[in-house]
Each structure stands twice: as C-alpha cells, then as structure tokens.
Structure 1
C-alpha cells in the first residue's frame, strides 16, 4: 500500500488572501456627442427672439380694488328716474285739477267711476322715501369674526332702566321688620326677667322689726349662755358653749350691719 503524501507546511498559507477589486470598464462615450451638442446650440439660438425682451411694469396707482370685477347694477339710477317721473306726473296732475270749492247741498257724488291705482310706482316711491333700517347691534369676540347679538350678551345695561331698579325688595323689608319685632320681644322678656330677679328694698318698719328680732334672739342666747356651769369638764358642755358663743357673735355682727346701713336690699329668691 502506498502512503498519502502530506503537503509541506508553509507560513504564508496562514495569512488571509487579499481581496482583489474588480476593474471597472472604461465609461461609454457616444460617438454622436459632438453632433448632438451642435444641434442643441442651433435650436436654442432660434428661441432667443421669442416674446418681448422687456415687459412694461404696471403703475402702483392702478391696483386691483375690492369688488371691482363684480357686475354692477344700475338700481340707484332706475329708482332715481322712477322717482323723478312720479314727481313730474304729480305736478302735471295737480296743474290740471280745477280750483276746489265747497259743494252745494243739491250736488250729488258721481257714482260708478273706479280709479285704478298703480301699485308699482307707489311701492317704488315708498321704498325710496322710506327711512333706512337701523343695523342690528352685534359684538365680535374672536379674531375670526364670530358675531353674536349684543342684547342677550349681558353687556348692555338694560336693567338700569327698570322701574324697580335700586328699590329694596319687599322680602328684605319684611325680614327687617320681623327681626326688629323679635329683638323688641327679646328685650321685653329680658326686662321682665330682671324685674323679677331685682332686689327688694326694706322699709323702715321692716328694718326695725328685724333689729328687734335679732336683739331678742341675742338676749335668749345670752341668757342660755349665762345658765352654763362655771366648771366645764366634759366635751358636750364645751361644744355647747362654743356653739352659743358663735351664735352670739353672728347676731352681734348682724345687728351692727343693720344699724350701720339705713338702706338694705334683699334679693328675691
């Protein structure tokens, strides 16, 4: 058997192969190029004299005005002619009429004659002599020109022209009267309550009776105090003695205050 032969190792085989760019062919140039250029120049030279070389610029005074291209109607002239014709006819008719005089009692009106009325002329005269209509008041609230009625917008002070403007409403006057009445009733009830709780002044007779009663009570307590034994050797006796002394002091204090003050007030309980 024959053994396979191995290729010898080479360092250059490890390097990547270089990319070879394809070579572009030369650009195509037509052989008729100079002849085409010559024909284009010849045709272009013929168009140089086409149209005026300089155009007259319009003057700024002859500018385009608004509604200048719209068809204009001669309504005003027709109306004016109709009005003049009507006036001339009225003047001629007035000249032909005889002088009017007061009719007699024996005269009778002419019957059976009908006069025709020219409604076209009368309507035209009425339209010419009629006063122009007043424009409806409007207001604009945006730059796009949105229009709205001025009367319903609230900007017109129409409420100032009302008869009851500035007059106090009835319900407010009634409410004020009710409040005053309630205030008077409250004050009256407070005065009655204070009168009931007011202090009463003692008269001279009551004051004398009160003094006599206090002195009499003091004498009774003093008599009982004198009846006590000289030697007090028990707690009940001592407590009874202290009680009598306090009663006597209180009665003396009350007698002094009543004798000192002539006018005495007593609160109603």
Structure 2
C-alpha cells in the first residue's frame, strides 16, 4: 500500500491538471482549425491509403470544413473509443459512420445525416443470406457498432462474435471462422465487388441515418456542421461524392 502522503500528493497533482472542454464554434473559428476524429479502417468511408486518410467521409468532412472557412486537423482512433473521446472533448467532432440511435443520442449529439445506410448480411456462397437463415449460425460483427447491437437482438443465433475492426470480421468470414458477417450495406457492396467469387450479399437487417457526432450541449457547432451538410446535399456535392466512392447517391434519406 502506498503511503498516505504519496497518495495525497498524487491526488493533488491530478486535480491540478487542466480539464479538457469541447471548444465552441467561436473558439474553433478563431483558431481556423476544426479538430476531427475518424477511425481510418472502414473503407470506402474512412480508411488509410498509405499514410493518407481517404474515403467518402473524409471528402465530406473536407467539403464541410471548406464551407465553414476552416481547415481540418485529423485524428485517428479506434471506433469503440470515439464516443467516449467525443464526450471528453478530446476533439471537436467525429465522422466515422455513426448511425443515429436513441442510446447513442443520450451520450452525444448528431448533425444532419451525410449518408443513409443500414446493416446487411454477407456470407460465403451457399451460406445464410436472410435473417431467418442465421438461426444456429455464427455471425461476426465489429465491436461497439449499431451492427453489433442489431445482431445481439437476433433470435436463435449459435454465437455472435464481436471483433475490434470491421476488417477483422471480414477476415474471419473469409477464413471460415464464421457463417456470416453483418456490416454497412455499402461496405458489403465494396467487399463483395473485390471478392465476387467468395462472398455474396444477403438481406438488410436494419436501416439507419449516419451523421457527424459531437459532445452534448454545443448547439452552435452542431447547427453550423448541419447547415454545411444540408448545403452540400442541396448543391449536389454529396451526391457526386457518393457516386465517386460507392457508385450512387447515398445522401438522400427516404
């Protein structure tokens, strides 16, 4: 056990550390820099090409920042750590394919959606391609995602396995360690196009709207980001970026 004096000293040093607070819009505008986080492992939305972040969401964010007269300082973080880091004010916002849910909305705020999607089943040829066919099957999914939440609610599975990255789940399916994978429908489309002889797409499990996330109680920043997204949707920029990265307009939510 540490001496009481040492414990009190450690506590006093901890309390002396400056608290981290999310910046408001005025502070961001004054700095000229928007601090954004993403995962960097979720093609075609956000991923690294060498050391360069690329993808639909990266292009969307750059267009949003341009609309706001800002430049971006990017940070990459594991997906399951992003919401916690946003709540702690470690950066201004995150764009990493967070679908809206009531549970998430209790922790963070959402902007207007920049794309609409949902969870889709992917399997090897002859494998399960419907929700009903997943009974008694092993399904893999990325940790801390809306896909993981949806899979845990499916009845009759043999097992649901959560893995740190979506690419880990894909690798597990290709290696035969799972019967099916549930992921974003456009990620599924991208994966199947690259493995057309080894994978097939099945039914949608659910649909969702995907947005930037930011800390609670920052309405000026939330509104500014949302306004920029809405303008980019109206002027056709989002549609063009969707066609560039996934071959279709994905920003019109019906």
Instruction: Using structure 2 for the length normalisation, give the TM-score.
Output: 0.13
Higher relative contact order (CA 8 A, sep 6+): 2
More helix by share: 1
When Rg is computed on C-alpha atoms for both structures, the one with the higher figure is 1
Structure 1 or 2: more strand by fraction:
2
